Chain A
Amino acid sequence: MKLSRKTVPLCALVLTLLFAATEFNPISAESRDQLEKTDQLTIAVRRLTESQYRHTIRDVFSPEVEINARFEPEQREGGLLAIGSAMLSLTSSGFEQYFALASSISDQVLGDELRESVMPCIPVAAIDHDCVRQFVSRFGELLFRRPLSAAELDARVATAETGASQAQDFYAGLKLALTSLLVAPEFLFRVETAELSTASAHEYRLNAYSMATRLSFLFWDTTPDKILLDAAASGALYAESGLQSQIARLSESPQMAEGIEAFFVDMMQIDGFENMVKDPAIYPKFNQLVSDSAREQMLLTINDLLITNGGDYRDIFTSNKTFINRALAAVYRVPYTSQEEWAAYEFPEDSERAGLITQIGPMSLWAHPGTSSPTRRGIKIHEIFMCEPTPDPPADVDFSLVQDSTKGTTRGRLLDHMENAGCSSCHGRSDPAGLALEHFDGLGQFRTLENGVFIDVSATLYDGSKFTGAQGLGEFLHDDPRIPSCLVRNVFSYGVAQLPRYEDRDYLQEQTELFANNGYRISTLFEEIASTAEFYHVRIPEGIKANSEVIATTP
């Protein structure tokens, strides 16, 4: 990762934000004999995201299962929900939701319509011990992403049989067992474990099922399938050839589009569209359909450019090939002649559009209910695409010096801010990229005037780079070295759901070079990262209890 920009304090800041404090390294044991053979450490507990939950239910049972629930809010850390998921637990109201949802899924899966396609056996009586065990162990493995322990299996079998004998109905009991799997922490959280490596008695390695899970969620955004779990069970994943054949299988599948899309939804913060509000008096064309369509447009664009066509990642800042529907066409003020719901469309040169970030989605999301916001747009561009988070504003800024701007434009008001030393430290960084986008209002509609005054869209970044307008910004971003290095860092962090460590610098640098050599292709980047040992690296969390005396003996 290259951090050769000129402002030194900024670099220091970025470095501290980019790299998590160095945690202590793979722990070695004095001797393997000191540990029980079954010894496993839980090294991470991550809450399943909404999309991972939905994909898992669909893939394990059926696409017909309806999932109507409100999921617990997710939280972004280090720019990614994936990292935030490792910090979240479940609140009481969240658990209520999952409990009700689990019952509803069980009712559907074991209801009249789906039961036949799902059941591995036909029960011979209300109590059919073997059939319950078959069901619980098959679906338990897919849901827990590893085979169930005897105790886990027995507990569910007991639940099913109690219920079945009370209701004198096999499926009534089995529904309870399935519900119990679906509310278990082993399902709702991705529990990653490490075990002593067979190759070296002094190192922990990621458990094969945890490897399979990392792979599956990265490539497919869903639970590992039976083939992947079998590769974990046989130990094949520990061998280079076994790992490579699984990576090849995962990346050749059309399901990989979902994995890549899930990554971009997380990284580009393509969320919040369902809660976006605009003032109807100022933006009469805005409604929920526009908001939902704007999101869809972003996904279609990414899909087409980066997945279907395997294009150069950097082209998202310059390519104007996209898709529109009738609702968006009205906001873009272009005719919509297609009879289909969506149609391919390419913005002409004079539209001043430049790639994904100038679409309605980002332009309206990174704005206020009644105005554009160059500050918010600039912050988001730096944070999302360049991995440069803007620090919190200092609390002691003397706002009493800020006077109402008499300039007619938002730009004028912000430039007034920048004359104030207290404001300029942050606004000087955040605003310029956003100022270049001022020809798009708070809904992403093209304009050249604001309050009757022509809007100047020239901008100078804090490092001295100059450009004009959205297209100038797009070209600048396309060629900026921070863009690919930030993406590589994000794919890695997303996959391991952790901030990179300081020691990962060289590794990330190498991966960035490889990414460039491979033509900035996303799918190749996924494959490369999943092929490296760093992707499966075990970080022992703080305060682990078992065998503390062994763990304390660092080499």
Chain B
Amino acid sequence: MKFRLNRRSLLRGMVGSATVSMGIPLLDIFLNENGTAYADGSRVPVRFGTYFWGLGLTDTPAGGTRWVPEKIGSGYEVTPELKAIAGLKDKISVFSGFRAIPDTKPNLVHWSGHASILSGTAPSTTSRFEAASFDTRIADAIGTSTRFKSVNIDASVSRRPISYSTRSGSTFSSPDVTPLELYNRLFGEGYQDPNSDNWQPNPEIMLRQSVLSAVTDQRQALMKSIGKDDREKLDQYFSSVRDMENQLAVQLQRPEPREACILPRAPEELPKAASVDVVNANTKVMARLLAMGLACDQTRVFNFVHTGGTSETYIAGERKIYHQITHDEPTDTLLGYQPQSSKLAGLVMEGLGAFLEELDGVKEGDGTLLDNCLVMAFSDTGYAKIHSIDNIPILFAGGAGGRHKTGQHIHEEGSSVTRVSLTAMQLAGAPVGEFGTGSMRTSNPITEVIA
């Protein structure tokens, strides 16, 4: 069950998988030894996460923008809507000009953008992706030796839990939506302190394994004479059972010590509101718990939603929600942009700033946790007023254990967003050489950010 990526397994994977081609840069990644190490010399694992916020960032009708830096390459300047990440900008690369290309399919508003980024294929219907989201491929590659293959979090305080992580394209993962839920997942029942001196395997776990074997025994009988869609559903069910079996197997092994791991205290309950101040506070608390979950090696992959595609966040006390404002607000003739929308975009980005600061606040090896992460942050649209899926803002934060050449601004006008996704997969260590379909099919990662 457990598999580690070394040169040999990578080559095996190449032969065995359906992956068509693997570019030279990918091999470079796996061969490089830039990664940081713990004090005892063991390698610090690379973690990967997505961070999503709704409604993009602001462009101006005249062709200008409130977020794209002018300077290309390293040392880009801080633009008004990127102010919240100024303190970490040397650890962040900014991608601009990339677009989702639906070909003959319609632009499904507040859906096509991130569906394309995550699944590589433009969706045909809202609420579904045409393929798995790519974070699951990274989880399959780097997430099998931890208790959770991935952890999904939604800080948005929405009517319905929001997650864009899916294996089937139709069933999306059920995220933890409050700090307490997240705490219980990571540090509640089943948590084993990796730094404990008197670790003992829990015999109960073996009994729990026997419960699952009775279930998987019946798989064949159930899969007989069944339609395609139903088979896919049951396949996913059994894959979830396998993840549980893996989780139990991991718990039967003595965890490796993690010097950065300190059990956090259970969080206090936050007020329940969807206003941007509350969502940002939620984001900060959940980021802190997640950071410790990563440091304690409970998971190596996460998906974080700050606000959903049609974001319903708002400034406390104001009647209109952000989504409404992006469409209704006229462009200020003097300023040349929508001032209220731009203000909200800046506030929403404060969530990302707080999130990354939490990861950067945990010391790990000779750097910080963020240095060993690759966080891909992105949105559903570019310029939300017109539902644009051109120039969708995407950022890479964290050094990916030395693999990511940070602090750059990459601008490629009209290039497919899937190139950024492919780059993320390769930086995170997924053996993927090609991604996407139609005009978004690519085997061409962005080599400038690969060390």
Interfacial chain B residues near A399, Cβ < 8 Å: 327, 385-386
Answer whether residue B361 sits at the interface, using C-beta atoms and an 8 A cutoff: no
Answer whether residue A250 sits at the interface, using C-beta atoms and an 8 A cutoff: no
Residue of B nearest to A72 (CB): B174
Q: Are B214 and A45 in contact (CB under 8 A)?
A: no
Query: For the complex, what is the distance from the CA of A97 to the CA of B243, rounded to whole Å?
Result: 13
Answer whether residue B159 sits at the interface, using C-beta atoms and an 8 A cutoff: yes
Interfacial chain A residues near B236, Cβ < 8 Å: 89-91
**Chain A contacts with B in 153-206, Cβ cutoff 8 A:** 155-156, 158-159, 162-163, 166-167, 172, 176-177, 179-180, 183-186, 188-189, 191
Q: Are A544 and B227 in contact (CB under 8 A)?
A: yes
Query: For the complex, what is the distance from the CA of A234 to the CA of B232, rounded to whole Å?
Result: 33
Q: Are A73 and B161 in contact (CB under 8 A)?
A: yes
The interface bits of chain B over 343-358 (1 if a CB of A lies within 8 angstroms of the residue's CB, else 0) are 0000000000000000
Answer whether residue B284 sits at the interface, using C-beta atoms and an 8 A cutoff: no
Query: For the complex, what is the distance from the CA of A395 to the CA of B230, rounded to whole Å?
Result: 33
**Chain B contacts with A in 115-143, Cβ cutoff 8 A:** 126-127
Interfacial chain B residues near A180, Cβ < 8 Å: 211-212, 214-215
Q: Are A159 and B210 in contact (CB under 8 A)?
A: yes
Residue of B nearest to A96 (CB): B244
Q: Are B227 and A368 in contact (CB under 8 A)?
A: no
Q: Are B314 and A279 in contact (CB under 8 A)?
A: yes
**Chain B contacts with A in 124-174, Cβ cutoff 8 A:** 126-127, 148-150, 152, 157-161, 167-168, 170-174
A275/B158 contact (C-beta < 8 A), A42-B226, A43-B227, A93-B173 known? yes
Q: Which of B217, B226, B233 contacts A155 (CB 8 A)?
A: B217
Q: Are A275 and B159 in contact (CB under 8 A)?
A: yes
Q: Are A93 and B152 in contact (CB under 8 A)?
A: yes
Q: Are A91 and B172 in contact (CB under 8 A)?
A: yes
- A447 to chain B minimum Cβ distance, whole angstroms, is 14
Interfacial chain B residues near A90, Cβ < 8 Å: 171, 236-237, 240
**Chain B contacts with A in 194-244, Cβ cutoff 8 A:** 203, 207-208, 210-215, 217-218, 221-222, 224-234, 236-241, 243-244
Answer whether residue A371 sits at the interface, using C-beta atoms and an 8 A cutoff: yes
The interface bits of chain A over 418-433 (1 if a CB of B lies within 8 angstroms of the residue's CB, else 0) are 0000000000000000
- A116 to chain B minimum Cβ distance, whole angstroms, is 24
Query: For the complex, what is the distance from the CA of A395 to the CA of B202, rounded to whole Å?
Result: 55
Answer whether residue B319 sits at the interface, using C-beta atoms and an 8 A cutoff: yes
Q: Are B217 and A151 in contact (CB under 8 A)?
A: yes
Q: Which of B185, B222, B319, B329 contacts A282 (CB 8 A)?
A: B319
**Chain A contacts with B in 271-330, Cβ cutoff 8 A:** 272, 275-277, 279-282, 288
Answer whether residue A516 sits at the interface, using C-beta atoms and an 8 A cutoff: no
Interfacial chain A residues near B214, Cβ < 8 Å: 155-156, 158-159, 177, 180, 184
Q: Are B229 and A542 in contact (CB under 8 A)?
A: yes
Kindly name the residue among B126, B149, B170 whose own CB sees the greatest number of chain A CB atoms within 10 A: B170
Kindly name the residue among B61, B239, B319 whose own CB sees the greatest number of chain A CB atoms within 10 A: B319
Q: Are B316 and A279 in contact (CB under 8 A)?
A: yes
Q: Are B107 and A186 in contact (CB under 8 A)?
A: no
Answer whether residue A517 sits at the interface, using C-beta atoms and an 8 A cutoff: no
Interfacial chain B residues near A45, Cβ < 8 Å: 226, 230, 233-234
Interfacial chain A residues near B330, Cβ < 8 Å: 402-404
Interfacial chain B residues near A91, Cβ < 8 Å: 167, 171-174, 236, 240
- B145 to chain A minimum Cβ distance, whole angstroms, is 15
Answer whether residue B320 sits at the interface, using C-beta atoms and an 8 A cutoff: yes
Answer whether residue A545 sits at the interface, using C-beta atoms and an 8 A cutoff: yes
Interfacial chain B residues near A40, Cβ < 8 Å: 225
Q: Are A272 and B233 in contact (CB under 8 A)?
A: no
Q: Which of A42, A166, A177, A371 contacts B319 (CB 8 A)?
A: A371
A398/B386 contact (C-beta < 8 A), A92-B240, A162-B210, A368-B324 known? yes
Interfacial chain B residues near A162, Cβ < 8 Å: 207, 210
Query: For the complex, what is the distance from the CA of A279 to the CA of B318, rounded to whole Å?
Result: 8
Residue of B nearest to A417 (CB): B328
Interfacial chain B residues near A99, Cβ < 8 Å: 208, 244
Q: Are A183 and B174 in contact (CB under 8 A)?
A: no
A184/B218 contact (C-beta < 8 A), A88-B233, A395-B387 known? yes
Answer whether residue B44 sits at the interface, using C-beta atoms and an 8 A cutoff: no
Q: Are A280 and B273 in contact (CB under 8 A)?
A: yes
**Chain A contacts with B in 95-133, Cβ cutoff 8 A:** 95-97, 99-100, 103
Kindly name the residue among A189, A275, A288, A404 whose own CB sees the greatest number of chain B CB atoms within 10 A: A275
A87/B170 contact (C-beta < 8 A), A277-B157, A399-B386, A541-B227 known? yes
Q: Which of B108, B160, B173, B174 contacts A395 (CB 8 A)?
A: B108
A185/B215 contact (C-beta < 8 A), A92-B244, A279-B317 known? yes
Query: For the complex, what is the distance from the CA of A167 to the CA of B206, rounded to whole Å?
Result: 12
Q: Are B227 and A543 in contact (CB under 8 A)?
A: yes
Query: For the complex, what is the distance from the CA of A146 to the CA of B238, rounded to whole Å?
Result: 21
Query: For the complex, what is the distance from the CA of A371 to the CA of B109, rounded to whole Å?
Result: 23
- A369 to chain B minimum Cβ distance, whole angstroms, is 6
A277/B233 contact (C-beta < 8 A), A91-B172, A176-B207 known? no
Answer whether residue A51 sits at the interface, using C-beta atoms and an 8 A cutoff: no
Query: For the complex, what is the distance from the CA of A157 to the CA of B61, rounded to whole Å?
Result: 70
Answer whether residue A44 sits at the interface, using C-beta atoms and an 8 A cutoff: yes
Interfacial chain B residues near A97, Cβ < 8 Å: 174
Q: Are A545 and B225 in contact (CB under 8 A)?
A: yes
Q: Are B386 and A95 in contact (CB under 8 A)?
A: no
Q: Are A42 and B227 in contact (CB under 8 A)?
A: yes
- B213 to chain A minimum Cβ distance, whole angstroms, is 7
Query: For the complex, what is the distance from the CA of A97 to the CA of B23, rounded to whole Å?
Result: 40
Q: Are B233 and A369 in contact (CB under 8 A)?
A: no
Answer whether residue B106 sits at the interface, using C-beta atoms and an 8 A cutoff: yes
Interfacial chain A residues near B174, Cβ < 8 Å: 70, 72-73, 91, 93-94, 97
Q: Are B227 and A542 in contact (CB under 8 A)?
A: yes
Residue of B nearest to A156 (CB): B214
Query: For the complex, what is the distance from the CA of A546 to the CA of B226, rounded to whole Å?
Result: 8
- B366 to chain A minimum Cβ distance, whole angstroms, is 33
Answer whether residue B181 sits at the interface, using C-beta atoms and an 8 A cutoff: yes
Residue of B nearest to A95 (CB): B240
Interfacial chain B residues near A541, Cβ < 8 Å: 226-230
Q: Are A547 and B240 in contact (CB under 8 A)?
A: no
Answer whether residue A66 sits at the interface, using C-beta atoms and an 8 A cutoff: no
- B396 to chain A minimum Cβ distance, whole angstroms, is 26
Q: Are B226 and A544 in contact (CB under 8 A)?
A: yes
- B270 to chain A minimum Cβ distance, whole angstroms, is 12
Answer whether residue A152 sits at the interface, using C-beta atoms and an 8 A cutoff: yes
Answer whether residue B272 sits at the interface, using C-beta atoms and an 8 A cutoff: yes
A89/B207 contact (C-beta < 8 A), A155-B214, A371-B319 known? no
Query: For the complex, what is the distance from the CA of A393 to the CA of B149, rounded to whole Å?
Result: 37
Query: For the complex, what is the distance from the CA of A175 to the CA of B152, rounded to whole Å?
Result: 30
Q: Which of B173, B320, B386 contacts A370 (CB 8 A)?
A: B320
Residue of B nearest to A401 (CB): B330
Answer whether residue B252 sits at the interface, using C-beta atoms and an 8 A cutoff: no
Query: For the complex, what is the distance from the CA of A371 to the CA of B181, rounded to whole Å?
Result: 30
Answer whether residue A34 sits at the interface, using C-beta atoms and an 8 A cutoff: no
- A442 to chain B minimum Cβ distance, whole angstroms, is 8
Q: Are B160 and A73 in contact (CB under 8 A)?
A: yes
Q: Are A159 and B225 in contact (CB under 8 A)?
A: no
Q: Are A392 and B171 in contact (CB under 8 A)?
A: no
Query: For the complex, what is the distance from the CA of A396 to the CA of B389, rounded to whole Å?
Result: 11
Q: Are A75 and B127 in contact (CB under 8 A)?
A: yes
Q: Are A92 and B243 in contact (CB under 8 A)?
A: yes
Query: For the complex, what is the distance from the CA of A172 to the CA of B150, rounded to whole Å?
Result: 32
Interfacial chain A residues near B324, Cβ < 8 Å: 368
- Contacts A72-B174, A75-B127, A185-B215 known; 7 new A-B pairs at CB < 8 A: A40-B225, A70-B181, A159-B214, A368-B319, A370-B319, A392-B126, A543-B227
The 10 closest A-B pairs by CB, nearest first: A541-B227, A543-B228, A395-B107, A546-B225, A95-B240, A370-B319, A89-B236, A89-B233, A92-B243, A155-B214
22 contacts between A and B (CB under 8 A): A41-B226, A43-B227, A73-B161, A88-B171, A89-B233, A89-B234, A92-B150, A94-B173, A159-B211, A180-B215, A183-B211, A186-B222, A189-B234, A279-B316, A369-B312, A370-B314, A394-B106, A397-B387, A402-B330, A542-B227, A544-B225, A545-B225
